[in-house]
Amino acid sequence: MGAAGSKLEKALGDQFPEGERYFGLENFGNTCYCNSVLQALYFCVPFREQLIDYYSNNKTLADAEENLLTCLADLFMQISSQKKKTGVIAPKRFVQRLKRQNEIFRSYMHQDAHEFLNYLLNELVDILEKESRAAKSDGETSSPSEKGANGPMSNHANGTQKEPLVTWVHKNFQGILTNETRCLRCETVTARDETFLDLSLDIEQNSSITSCLKNFSSTETLNAEDKFFCDNNVPFNVCSLQEAQKRMKIKKPPHILVIHLKRFKYIEQLGRYKKLSYRVVFPLELKLSNTVEDADAEYSLFAVVVHVGSGPNHGHYVSLVKSHNHWLFFDDENVEMIDESAVQTFFGSAQEYSSNTDHGYILFYERITAAGTS
């Protein structure tokens, strides 16, 4: 990327952010799905900082056992510590580890970037939880230890800690949904909480993220074979299948909101998946209004993983990233500056058949911290 790199440096000139690095990632045949997500995560600054911090504080652990977490931390360290400001890095160790660990990513077929992101975040959480448990059992045999992967650990008397561990991955990406079901006979509301690391939204033609989120939280009636078993026996002895209304609300919005647009849909008549090229507007600033608390959570867009291509089984992934108020376009080895107005060219196509096949697929928003919120 020599010429392209110097071109990027020229374009930014004296506005090149102090200490920042813009590196393309080499593609190993079909690894654009991986490269595009890694760039989005690298420019998720709180995640990057905590990952590098974790790595620096766990040097011995990194030498002892290689896993996806150590490989990712190693890659991010490699990028951030480069002497040059721009260039290309081969994420070889990370990709080899990924393929060794999960056969889905071993083939040279087109892979799904969302599936990869999901797998990676869950894998990082598993590794951190295992390490924390190991540190805890070591701490119990010696002295209470504070070296957990996620900051100070709470040691309860009699080992009664039942709280699920909250890792720094959770602190960035995890939100809580509440699933409310209201029995239409006795009006009792049953609420069940569930955590999420990203939200997958159904999409419609000529819609927006706001309308997709409204649909996600809209009330659905459960009747016929979908009736709800209400076990309430006061004031009526219901304890039977009843018609009910169900809706999903965001109880606790995450710090980093990842939205996956469901662009690949199984079409019964065709017997296969089809890509929906629908135009879905995603704003640079987003207000989440369907939360349990009345206060709107405000977010700012900082990365978009884009699927390029007309079908689900072939194509390419690139990413758009906002860094220090500049928008950059990452396409494997190539990195270039783009104008903020170019982001809207990735909303999708208003007509079904269009020559534009570059569509926003995964959106990364960071919460704008207002006074009084954490």
| Alpha-carbon distances, residue 29 vs 3, 92, 109, 249, 314 (angstroms) | 23, 12, 9, 41, 13
Secondary structure of residue 54 in the 3-state scheme: helix
What is the SS3 assignment for 349?
A: strand
User: CA-CA distance, 162 to 164, in Å (whole number)?
Assistant: 6
Please enumerate in sequence order all residues whose Cβ is within 8 A of that of 201, keeping only pairs 6 or more positions apart, or say none: 209, 212, 213, 215, 216, 259, 260, 261, 262
Query: Residue 359 catalytic?
Result: no
CB-side exposure of 125: number of CA atoms within 13 Å?
17
Q: Are the C-beta atoms of 366 and 299 separated by less than 8 Å?
A: yes
149 DSSP 8-state letter: B
Instruction: Give the active site residue among 32, 34, 71, 230.
Output: 32
What is the maximum span of the chain, computed from C-alpha positions, in angstroms?
A: 76
Q: Is 32 a catalytic residue?
A: yes
Retrieve residue 144's tokens: 């209470």
Q: How many angstroms separate the CA atoms of 367 and 365, rounded?
A: 7
DSSP structural state of residue 165: P
Q: Are strands 326-331 and 316-323 parallel, antiparallel or unpaired?
A: antiparallel
Which among 114, 260, 316, 326 is annotated as catalytic? 316
Q: 64: exposed, middle or buried (C-beta count within 10 Å: 0-12, 13-18, 19+)?
A: exposed
Residues catalogued as catalytic: 32, 316
